[in-house]
Amino acid sequence: MIAIVDYGMGNLASVEKAFQMIGAPAVITGDPDQIAKADRVVLPGVGAFGAAMENLRTSGMDQAVTEAVRAGKPFIGICLGMQLLFTDSDELGYYKGLDLISGRVVQFFQPEDRTPETEALKVPHMGWNVLDVKTPAPPLNGFPNGGMVYFVHSFYCAPTDAGVVAATSTHGIEFCACVWKDNIFAAQFHPEKSSTLGLAMLKNFSEWKV
């Protein structure tokens, strides 16, 4: 059974429907015991980093997620769910994350970082963009060169160890779009909104044997 973590933030129904479309049983749950019993765990998310971490801690789901990862369960973070896995974030202040992957969550194009070439680029980075696969993470098996996925985000992850970067994309700068570390896979884009390729990725995840 696949458990989709409910901590009060995220497009849970869309993620659940995507798993239903590929024939993979999934349940939305805010119960740590159900997370512990699940075979695979999904951490989705839409919204602000600080509020999400507060919700996770208040509900006890931060510990449930951490224990699921440490138990070696196949785990996927989606969008904000990817960012929460990192050490900390600069979004609307300074907030500590789950620290399951070392690194920071930073904003696109601080004023001092703008160049004439990036001046016209909007934040949030929203829409379809090419995913450049760097490392053959199991959920990315069969992903084609030039394949496109759907992004909506103003912040991106900057891992301490470049070796965990499984794929990148470009929005003025090249940024980390996927990470893979042991039983953890995470995507900055939304596979549930990324049509056939996104569903194939979720199918791979549902069959991933760590």
What is the per-residue pLDDT across 98-151, written as a single tens digit (0 to 9) for each? Answer: 999 999 999 997 665 667 666 678 878 999 999 999 999 999 999 999 999 999
Q: Looking at 16, 79, 91, 176, which residue is catalytic?
A: 79
CA-derived radius of gyration, the chain:
16
**Pairing mode of beta strands 40-43, 2-5:** parallel
* Element containing residue 17 per DSSP (H, E): helix 12-21
CATH tag, 2-207: 3.40.50.880
**Residue ranges of the domains in the chain?**
2-207
Active site residue 192: yes
Catalytic residue among 91, 153, 176, 192: 192
Between CA 77 and CA 100 the distance in angstroms is 11
DSSP designation for 97:
-
Among 125, 153, 171, 190, the one annotated catalytic:
190
What is the per-residue pLDDT for 111?
62
Question: Strands 148-153, 125-130: parallel, antiparallel or unpaired by DSSP?
Answer: antiparallel
**49 pLDDT higher than 70:** yes
In this prediction, residue 121 carries a pLDDT of 81
